[in-house]
A and B are shown apart, each in its own frame.
Chain A
Amino acid sequence: RKEVEQDPGPFNVPEGATVAFNCTYSNSASQSFFWYRQDCRKEPKLLMSVYSSGNEDGRFTAQLNRASQYISLLIRDSKLSDSATYLCVVSLYNQGGKLIFGQGTELSVKP
């Protein structure tokens, strides 16, 4: 079983749609959680950290459920510029802060 699993997609949605990505992680010692965004053939960039209380940044909302070992990302009012691959990432502090990446979920927003 992969340590971090995501639905690979692709998700094809029209502009203005709401789309949700799900992610599960297997190591209960995971302590920090992130969503990174990766544009085609570019480097990953941090989109947002994920906190236990849930957090929102504009059109983006991230949720964490430690009991279920589940992380989600909700994008409201999708824009063409949201088209990218979204990477679910967890960190284990007791292993030098290494990040474990999911394989990514591809999103394509169409006009």
Chain B
Amino acid sequence: NAGVTQTPKFQVLKTGQSMTLQCAQDMNHNSMYWYRQDPGMGLRLIYYSASEGTTDKGEVPNGYNVSRLNKREFSLRLESAAPSQTSVYFCASSEAPGTATYEQYFGPGTRLTVT
């Protein structure tokens, strides 16, 4: 049981390049999330998917797109990377909010640097 996995762990991009961050969970969770974490800012929600087939914007969606490929996988795409997107990106999953076990489980993170 791997929990939440993310690839890659580290990535360096040049301004304007594109890439996709992959996330998968094996806990049969309905909801999945993408966050970014910057020093002094806490975690900020980029996009989330409350259930398979749905996605919604979070607090900081500009410059990103997401795909909920199936129940297990939720990817985050940067179409044209900018230095302001240098951050640590975390994927998380949970059962439906409001359930007794509503806890978000996080992946190990992707450290992205855009030069």
Contact = CB atoms under 8 A, between A and B. Distances in A.
Interface in B1-35: 31, 33, 35
A8 B33 CA distance: 25
Contact of B42 (A42, A49, A104): A104
Contacts of B31: 96-97
Interface stretch (B43-51, B62-70, B76-84): B43-51
B104 A102 contact: no
Contacts of B58: 98
A93 B96 CA distance: 10
Contacts, number: 55
B96 A87 contact: no
A85 B36 CA distance: 16
Given A44-B90, A103-B40, A104-B42, A97 B98 contact: yes
Contacts of A25: none
Interface residues of A, number: 22
Nearest to A6: B42
Contacts of B90: 43-44
Contact of B97 (A41, A93, A102): A93
A73 to B, nearest CB: 16
Given A96-B50, A101-B43, A46 B97 contact: no
Interface of B: 31, 33, 35, 40-45, 48, 50, 56, 58, 90, 94, 96-98, 102-104, 106-109
Given A43-B108, A44-B43, A87-B43, 17 more contacts: A8-B40, A32-B97, A34-B103, A41-B109, A43-B109, A46-B103, A96-B48, A96-B97, A97-B96, A97-B97, A98-B58, A99-B33, A101-B42, A101-B44, A102-B42, A103-B41, A103-B42
